[in-house]
């Protein structure tokens, strides 16, 4: 497969893919774009993208430390974990919703049979109003 075909399918310029292949990182766009292109291209080639991105970061920071391509943070180095406060608030909301639901369904004032019977009677009366008593 030609590099131009790969570039077309990945929607990355062939000049950028050639620069990646030849290690000419100065010709790549900004750091964020370069990381994205590397991730997409390495996934396409079925390579270990996390290791490639780490190597690129090391190379880019040593080569461009004074020139502008300084990469801050590694978006693929940590696991995505929710904060403890988010987990606590979510669990608290689930408990509160469960209590309200339980009280609404199982409270002595709530009888689903009465509610259903009353609703049914109301619908029958409405139908009689609309169509008269000829349906009986």
**Whether pLDDT at 70 is above 50:** no
- Whether the Cβ atoms of residue 135 and residue 127 lie closer than 8 Å to each other: yes
Q: Is the residue at 71 inside a domain?
A: no
Same domain, 56 and 14: yes
Task: Give buried/exposed letters for 110-133 (b at 16+ CB in 10 A, else e).
Answer: eeeeeeeeeeeeeeeeeeeeeeee
Q: Is the residue at 72 inside a domain?
A: no
**Whether pLDDT at 30 is above 60:** yes
Same domain, 56 and 24: yes
Give the pTM.
0.46
**Whether pLDDT at 50 is above 50:** yes
- Calculate mean pLDDT across residues 21-40: 83
- Calculate mean pLDDT across residues 10-32: 84
Q: Is the residue at 136 inside a domain?
A: no
Decide: helix, strand or coil at residue 11: coil
Same domain, 19 and 57: yes
Same domain, 10 and 45: yes
Element (H, E) at 125: helix 112-131
User: How many angstroms separate the CA atoms of 10 and 8, rounded?
Assistant: 6
Q: What is the pLDDT of residue 119?
A: 74
Q: Is the residue at 75 inside a domain?
A: no
Q: Is the residue at 27 inside a domain?
A: yes
Q: What is the pLDDT of residue 68?
A: 47
Q: Which two tokens stand for residue 115?
A: 């509610």
Q: What is the pLDDT of residue 91?
A: 95
Q: Is the residue at 69 inside a domain?
A: no
Q: What is the pLDDT of residue 108?
A: 66
**Whether pLDDT at 118 is above 90:** no
What is the DSSP code string of 58-106? Answer: HHHHHHHTTTS----S-TTSS-----HHHHHHHHHHHHHHHHHHHHHHH
Q: Is the residue at 108 inside a domain?
A: yes
Domain that holds residue 47: 3-64
Lowest mean pLDDT segment, chosen from 2-11, 109-118, 127-136: 109-118
Count structural domains, the chain: 2
Q: Is the residue at 28 inside a domain?
A: yes
User: How many angstroms separate the CA atoms of 40 and 16, rounded?
Assistant: 12
Same domain, 52 and 90: no
Same domain, 60 and 10: yes
């Amino acid at each position: 497969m030609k590099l131009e075909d790969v570039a077309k399918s990945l929607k990355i310029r062939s000049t950028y893919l050639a620069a990646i292949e030849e290690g000419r990182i100065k010709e790549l766009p900004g750091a964020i774009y370069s990381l994205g292109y590397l991730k997409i291209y390495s996934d396409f080639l079925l390579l270990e993208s996390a290791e490639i991105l780490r190597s690129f970061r090391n190379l880019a920071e040593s080569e461009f430390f004074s020139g502008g391509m300084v990469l801050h943070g590694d978006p693929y180095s940590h696991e995505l974990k929710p904060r403890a406060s988010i987990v606590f608030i979510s669990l608290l909301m689930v408990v509160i919703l469960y209590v309200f639901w339980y009280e609404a369904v199982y409270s002595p004032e709530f009888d689903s049979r009465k509610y259903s019977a009353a609703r049914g009677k109301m619908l029958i009366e409405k139908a009689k109003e609309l169509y008269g008593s000829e349906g009986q």
